[in-house]
Amino acid sequence: MVLLILCLACAPVLPGACATKILYGRRPADTLHPVSAYIMGWLLCVCMAGAANAVTVIGGQSLLWCTKLFVGLLLGMEGISAIILGILGAVQGRERHEAFQKASEHRKVSGTVRGLQVVFMMLVLIQIVSILRKGYVFLNGDMTLETVQSFLDTNALYEMNPLTGQMYEAGVPLRIRILCLPTLYAMLCTLFDVSAQIVVWTVMPVYHLLCAYLVYYLLGSRLFPDKQVQRVTFLILAALVLAQGTYAYGADGLGLMYRGFRGESVRSVVLLPYVIWALLERKWFCIIPAVMAEACIVWTLYGMGVSVMVAAIFALVLCGCAFFDKKHGKGDRTCGN
Amino acid sequence: MWELINNAREGFLSMHTGGKYTGLLLVILVYLWCRKCGHTLSGKKYAGPEKGLMVYTTLMAVICSIPVTAVLLMKYQTAFYDYTWVWAVVPATIMLAYGGTLLLEDAMDSEALKTTRSKVLFAAAFIAVFILAGGMGGREQEMALKKAEYQTTERLLNVLIQESDLKGDDVSADAEREAAGLCIWGPTMVMEYVRMIEPDMQVAYGRNMWDISLNAFSYDVYGEEEMRLYEAMSEAQNRARFSDIEMLKLAVDRGISHVVLPGYVLQADVEAAADYAGSSIRQVEGYYVLALPDKN
């Protein structure tokens, strides 16, 4: 269990840092947010799981084979990332590190901010405890746990009907089989010898909740770059809305608090806010792993998920704003600020 | 198409019955547009809100609110997902938090709130609005009830497993389980929980019998026999009657090993079922359990 948590926490660090460094290494050091690198790393890990799952499903291989492939891909990605980071770090590391430290020194934290941070931490802690204590999730339209259990029981993907325990007769559509979250959870259960119920209902929802707040932290930093009080207030209000917004099926709060293991929930609270942050920051390449991850975890229209649409419409809106501002002589980087 | 439009119209109404965050979002958007035009509570001029985010959210909220345009989004999302999912494209949580923060900042600067006390009171009232506009924990009660029911079911399953000698600690435990072929036919709660915690056990039919959205995950469909079994058990659950004891023969033919009936089913019906099956009936954790004879 401890190993699982450690692995979840550490696996995205290297790939994320490497991807960020390759894509945005030339930008000023204080715009290279380590949190965004972490989220990007997590999305790349999901894409790796998606690739392993797709190969296994198409090749008709076993869960164990899929797990070995996933571990191989992940280790390969970590190794390559470490090598690239080592090379890039030797070239440009010291000066960037110093510039980043200098930028950090300017940020002094007031007592009010500290107080608000404590309030925010308490809210997040309450939500985590609430997820841990529930022992039940909102089940309508979901069979993730049963699917993971059936994978573990048969060591095969989609051969047993998870809802009855009998073998499938007609089978499962390919559009469902290529979604990788149940396989990823089953692989985590296999690798770390943790029960499916704990991984699916507890560990992953808490992990996704933390990822969601990391993305909201990024958004707060973008929307209130020089206002620490407002930034933490933004986080507190977001936490309140997520905790209380559990009344409607499909709402962000319900997804996060009661079915945080679902692809749709991850999309609502992690992927789409991350895409919006990337659009606001004009970090277009960050959108690509989010779009790919969505195609791996949510049933989309031939891979064209909500992230693609949000990115396209938002980009059009940004261009429209820029054009409008230019016409009225107010052009700047953030469209109207 | 009309079905989808109707779904979108009714979905929009149902989104407001539990909480009011969609309404609050519209209020926030109105405030942000006023602020953009220079109308603030404090009368101060602030740097405008993020215009791109504001325009995008307003545009998508309008598109999602109109049934016809909402249907286009539903079509884009494979038409499988319910109406509420089209609201995924509206960054409601982000805008509520963003607009709320700006409104709070503006109010704190206003002349009306001069003293610290009035500022604290306003902030508290503001937070209260955010909390009260939400679901207020209605879901918690529903979940607690389910959890309690599952705990009862878990105890029932443990008894069944122990009686079937399925929890042996020898190396052939797995083989025994398969050979034993424990297959349950019972109330919905029991059936769904069996498959969650005991992947070795089978059930007569799955949760997709009563949660039809799950049928999208598989090409397999239920036949007439499963439907009849489900109807008989629904009668037991909803009307406390188990009158169609002929179903027990069908259950035996389908390899079902245990029938679980709710504890409130009429005693006479339960005894008749036991006589018909030639088996004894007993009560476990508030349920009647009837072990069926082997098919052969």
**DSSP letter string, B139-200:** HHHHHHHHHHHHHHHHHHHHHHHHHTTTT--STTHHHHHHHH--EEE--HHHHHHHHHH-TT
CA distance A142 to A254: 13
Supply the mean pLDDT for chain B.
82
User: Per the structure block, which two tokens stand in for A321?
Assistant: 């704003």
Q: Determine how β-strand B287-291 pairs with β-strand B202-203.
A: unpaired
Place of tokens 């539990």: B18
pLDDT-derived band at A128 (thresholds 50, 70, 90) equals very high
Weakest mean pLDDT among A99-108, A189-198, A293-302, B277-286: A99-108
* Residue B168: pLDDT over 80: no
Q: Is A279 exposed, middle or buried (0-12, 13-18, 19+ CB in 10 A)?
A: buried
Contacts of A237 in chain B (CB under 8 A): 96-97, 100-101, 130
In our burial notation (b when 16+ CB lie closer than 10 A, e otherwise), range B5-38 reads eebbbebbeebeebbbbbebbebbbebbeebeee
Question: In this predicted structure, what is the pLDDT of residue A263?
Answer: 92
**Closest among A57, A79, A199, A46 to A137, alpha carbons compared:** A199
Domain boundaries, chain B: 2-136, 165-291
Q: Is B41 helix (H, G, I), strand (E, B) or coil?
A: coil
pLDDT tens-place string over residues B170-227: 444 454 444 357 889 999 888 888 888 888 888 999 999 988 888 888 888 888 888 9
Asked if residue B233 lies in contact with residue B186, where contact means CB atoms within 8 angstroms, the answer is yes
Q: Do B133 and A244 touch (CB under 8 A)?
A: yes
Q: Determine how β-strand B281-284 pairs with β-strand B183-185.
A: unpaired
CA-based nearest distance A77→chain B, Å: 31
Higher pLDDT, A51 or B274: A51
Q: Do A238 and B94 touch (CB under 8 A)?
A: yes
Contacts of A88 (CB under 8 A, 6+ apart): A21, A22, A25
CA-based nearest distance A12→chain B, Å: 25
Weakest mean pLDDT among A45-54, A56-65, B237-246: B237-246
pLDDT tens-place string over residues A205-233: 999 999 999 999 999 999 998 888 999 99
| Backbone angle region of A155, left / alpha / beta, with phi > 0 → left and psi within -120 to 50 → alpha | left
User: A residues 305-324 near B, CB within 8 Å?
Assistant: 306, 309-310, 313-314, 317-318, 320-321
pLDDT tens-place string over residues A282-333: 888 999 999 999 999 998 877 788 899 999 999 999 999 888 888 877 654 4
Contacts of B15 in chain A (CB under 8 A): 248
Using CA atoms, how far residue B199 sits from A160, B65, B70, B213, in Å, is 10, 43, 40, 22
Question: In this predicted structure, what is the pLDDT of residue A324?
Answer: 86
Q: Do A337 and B60 touch (CB under 8 A)?
A: no
Task: State residue B202 phi and psi, 5-degree precision.
Answer: -110, 160
CA distance A254 to A251: 5
Q: Is B162 exposed, middle or buried (0-12, 13-18, 19+ CB in 10 A)?
A: exposed
Asked if residue A250 lies in contact with residue B84, where contact means CB atoms within 8 angstroms, the answer is yes
Question: Which residues share a beta bridge with A62?
Answer: A156
Q: Do A272 and B91 touch (CB under 8 A)?
A: yes
The amino acid that residue A66 corresponds to is C
Asked if residue A48 lies in contact with residue A78, where contact means CB atoms within 8 angstroms, the answer is no
Asked if residue A41 lies in contact with residue A274, where contact means CB atoms within 8 angstroms, the answer is no
**Closest among A202, A197, A208, A215 to A130, alpha carbons compared:** A202
Domain boundaries, chain A: 2-105+112-304
Higher pLDDT, A260 or A250: A260
| CA nearest to B133 within chain A | A244
User: B residues 225-284 near A, CB within 8 Å?
Assistant: none
* Residue A145: pLDDT over 80: yes
**DSSP letter string, A308-327:** HHHHHHHHHHHHHHHHHHHH
* Residue B162: pLDDT over 90: no
pLDDT-derived band at B101 (thresholds 50, 70, 90) equals very high
User: A residues 174-213 near B, CB within 8 Å?
Assistant: 176, 197
Q: Out of B52, B134, B220, name the one closest to residue A321 (CB).
A: B52
pLDDT tens-place string over residues B256-286: 888 999 888 888 888 888 888 888 788 888 8
Place of tokens 């009307």: B239
Using CA atoms, how far residue A294 sits from A141, A187, A298, A307, B15, in Å, is 19, 19, 6, 7, 25
